[in-house]
Homo-oligomer: A and B are copies of this chain.
């Protein structure tokens, strides 16, 4: 797929989407909201509130954590942000691109998070839900393991640049 180009283009339409959402809800379009939303739409991977706050520090006039949390709620409400629980004490977030649904595989060595798509699993999930008399609305599938390549090298360089967290 065409990478950089379509990414840039999407950020504008994502911001427009978000603005429309705010208007529709009778909410105000503020600098903070646009700034945080843009930052999030530019993220290429999974992030935490902590890492987001860090990456926003250089912006003129820091944005408070309280505000970041509140904006994250809004973006989840607008359907543009997805929340993940990777078994830690803090939440991870991911810009929900309109692309295909995916699940995650997490390396227990270095906390690297990879994505994969498994249409077969999705189908079976539907069947399972049906069998159990549930109407399926969402799911969370996380695989945990160790990257083979890292194993070969002994351990991962990222393992030691540890933030203390994942």
Contact = CB atoms under 8 A, between A and B. Distances in A.
Interface in A108-166: 108, 114, 116, 118, 120-121, 124-125, 128-129, 131-149, 151
A134 B147 contact: yes
A74 interface: no
A87 interface: yes
| Interface size band for A | 35 or more
A151 B140 CA distance: 22
A107 B134 contact: yes
A35 B1 CA distance: 59
A85 interface: yes
A124 B125 contact: no
A114 B132 contact: yes
Contacts of A137: 108, 144-146
Interface string A87-110: 100000000000000000101100
Contacts of A135: 145-146, 148, 151
Given A121-B121, A140-B140, A132 B146 contact: no
A87 B88 CA distance: 11
A134 B146 contact: yes
Nearest to A141: B141
Given A138-B143, A139-B144, 5 more contacts: A105-B132, A121-B124, A134-B146, A135-B145, A135-B151
A-B pairs with lowest CB-CB distance, top 6: A134-B145, A133-B148, A136-B145, A138-B144, A139-B143, A140-B142
